[in-house]
């Protein structure tokens, strides 16, 4: 049975990325940027789960709580997951008292959301093996505008992460210069391989290889950060924040179903 999921966040790039990461055979994802848009969708469709950010209109907003109320009043059987960067014990208590099924404080990785949705009975089916080795793309149509936004989200996120990684690595001891160099190198390669993939997208083989290289570089960056964390060179909160962002990049690049959507149109 087809499951419908609604994601509500005021950042369009995040909405597009999560839609790409969570949508799969059996799961259809709708997105909304405002409380009004979300309520309009909710008035016309019942959702198995709604993922809502707390603040949609600035630092004083609590629209996420309004969404919980709206959903539970109209569809008591539907589940709501509240996400916020401004968490507190009181907020968590209030969210659960209103009927939220899960409460998470940012950063939240896609895997955490998938596990939460699975606990609510939403099963994710992977149509292709993870990775690019066995991807099939025959007959696929691509929404170029959407895919361009996804690409720019991934690239801009990778650039921001490189800057964060560079700053973090400044605190590494001098005797760990090898780890410092490897960390910076792999983080930078995520960006350069993404740039090369986009410039060479007419050549499908090179395009896929470069995306694969970018995904591998992201994974290697995560591994270097784990080593740094083991020796207490990186604060655990900073590590989780950076790692969650790399996990989203890795998912977008490595999941066969999703990366398939990034492919340039096949010449007829």
Q: Write out pLDDT tens, residues 199-224.
A: 887 787 788 788 888 888 988 999 99
Who has greater pLDDT, 107 or 85? 85
Question: Domain 3-119 is in which class?
Answer: alpha beta
**Extents of the domains making up the chain:** 3-119, 144-262
Give residue 189's pLDDT. 92
What's the CA angle centered on 36, arms 23 and 124, to 5 degrees? 15
Average pLDDT over residues 134-141: 34
Distances (CA, A) of 197 to 112, 202, 239: 29, 9, 28
Mean pLDDT of 119-132: 58
| pLDDT category of residue 124 using cuts at 50, 70 and 90 | low
53 class by beta-carbon count within 10 Å (0-12 exposed, 13-18 middle, 19+ buried): buried
Kindly report, residue by residue over 43-80, the tens digit of the pLDDT: 999 999 999 999 998 777 899 999 999 999 999 999 99
Is pLDDT at 91 greater than 90 in this prediction?
yes
**Widest Cα–Cα separation across the chain:** 61
Partners of residue 81 on adjacent β-strands: 51, 102
Give alpha helix (H) positions in 170-235.
177-199, 204-230
Percentage of the chain exceeding pLDDT 90: 39
pLDDT at residue 264 in the model: 41
Q: Could you give the angle at the alpha carbon of 1 between the alpha carbons of 9 and 10, nearest 5°?
A: 5
Entry pTM:
0.60
User: What is the rounded distance in angstroms from the CA atom of residue 46 to the CA atom of residue 6?
Assistant: 10
Q: Which fold has domain 144-262?
A: de novo design (two linked rop proteins) (1.20.1440)
């Amino acid at each position: 049975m087809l499951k419908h999921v609604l994601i509500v966040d005021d950042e369009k790039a995040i909405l597009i990325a999560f839609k790409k990461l969570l949508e799969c055979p059996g799961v259809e994802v709708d997105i909304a940027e405002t409380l009004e848009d979300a309520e309009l969708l909710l008035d016309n469709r019942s959702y198995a789960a709604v993922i809502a950010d707390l603040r949609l209109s600035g630092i004083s907003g609590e629209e996420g709580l309004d969404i919980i109320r709206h959903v539970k009043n109209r569809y008591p059987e539907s589940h709501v997951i509240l996400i916020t960067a401004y968490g507190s014990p009181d907020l968590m208590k209030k969210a659960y008292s209103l009927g939220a099924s899960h409460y998470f404080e940012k950063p939240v990785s896609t895997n955490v959301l998938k596990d939460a949705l699975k606990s609510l009975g939403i099963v994710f089916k992977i149509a292709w093996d993870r990775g690019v080795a066995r991807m099939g793309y025959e007959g696929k149509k691509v929404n170029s505008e959407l895919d361009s936004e996804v690409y720019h989200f991934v690239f801009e996120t990778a650039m921001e992460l490189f800057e964060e990684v560079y700053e973090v690595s400044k605190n590494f001891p001098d005797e760990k210069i090898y780890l410092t160099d490897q960390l910076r190198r792999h983080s930078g390669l995520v960006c350069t391989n993404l740039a090369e993939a986009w410039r060479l997208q007419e050549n499908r083989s090179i395009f896929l290889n470069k995306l694969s290289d970018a995904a591998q570089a992201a994974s290697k960056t995560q591994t270097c950060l784990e080593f740094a964390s083991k020796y207490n060179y990186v604060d655990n909160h900073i590590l989780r924040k950076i790692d969650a962002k790399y996990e989203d990049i890795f998912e977008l690049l490595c999941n066969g179903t999703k990366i398939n959507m990034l492919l340039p149109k096949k010449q007829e």
